[in-house]
Each structure stands twice: as C-alpha cells, then as structure tokens.
Amino acid sequence: MRQLLPILRRTGLWARPQEDLFDRFFEDFRLPSLLHEGRDWVPAFDVSETEKEVIVKAEVPGMNKKDIDITLSDGLLRVKGERKQEKEDESENYHLVETRYGAFSRTMRLPCEVDTDKVDATYRDGLLKIRFPKSQSAKESKVEIKS
C-alpha cells in the first residue's frame, strides 16, 4: 500500500514498525508491485461494440506499424509487438526514466462473430484502431410478436 503514496514510503530498519502488516508481508516475499520498475510494458486496450461492428483500440505510442502484428483465429484476437528503446545519448545524465520498452502480446476473445475478410486496421498518433464488421449471423434481428 505504501507504494501508492511515495511520501509515506520509509526506508531503513527503524521504519519497519511504522509500516502496516500487509506491506511487510508482501515485501518479505519480494513480490513485484503494480507500480514497481520490474513491471513489463503492456499497452492499454479498449473493446467496444456498435450495431454493425466491433472496435478495438490500443494505446501503443512510440512504435512503428511494421512492429505490430495482428492475427485473428477462431474469435481470438492477438496483438503483439515490440517497442524498441532508442539509443541513449552518453552525454545525458538521466534522473528519472519511466518509459517502458519491450515486447508485448495480448490475446482476447471478441464479443461476437466478425467478418474476417473486411477487417480494417489503422495506426495514427500512437493509437491502433481495428474495426471488425459483424458477420450476418452475429447481427441481431428484431422479432415481431404476432397475436
């Protein structure tokens, strides 16, 4: 919990009694925190649905579109890629580096059947947008009730 509020972070042996039991339990086992430097880079995804299509958006800034691979198989969408680190300038002295680099792979099931022949993917300003038109069998049809 103390990782969430850096001002509450304490160091040294004397600070241990001030930490709560929950923090000490996980620290003793050296489990990675959600906000810790050891976390891999995973882009954020949004999946939405309209009457005619399924839309997947992924935030993948700083990448080239040739470094992104999209596959669709049996209703499973897989997006993988790698954000490569730029060569560091030796004359720069970094005080803080929060940018994440490396490979990622995300697999998710689409909410309905889609027409795989008419998929449209665009990448602009760090946002990958994939549009999947719904197949005819996935579209809802209104059923009228007869008296």
Which tokens sit at 62? 């700083």
* DSSP string covering 93-117: --S------EEEEEEEE-SS-B-GG
Q: How confident is the model at residue 14 (pLDDT cuts 50, 70, 90)?
A: very low
Measured at the CA of 124, the angle between CA 34 and CA 45, to 5 degrees, comes to 30
**Of all helices (H) and strands (E), which one includes residue 24?**
helix 21-28
Q: How far apart are the first and last CA of the chain?
A: 61
Q: Give me the domains of the chain, ranges plus CATH numbers.
A: 1-39 (no CATH), 45-86+94-133 (2.60.40.790)
Per-residue pLDDT of 72-124, as tens digits, reads 998 899 999 998 877 777 778 878 877 788 899 999 999 999 998 899 999 99
Q: Would you say residue 5 has pLDDT above 70? A: no
77 compared with 23, residue with greater pLDDT: 77
Percent of the chain scoring above 70 in pLDDT: 69
Beta bridge partners of 64: none
The reported pLDDT for the residue numbered 85 is: 78
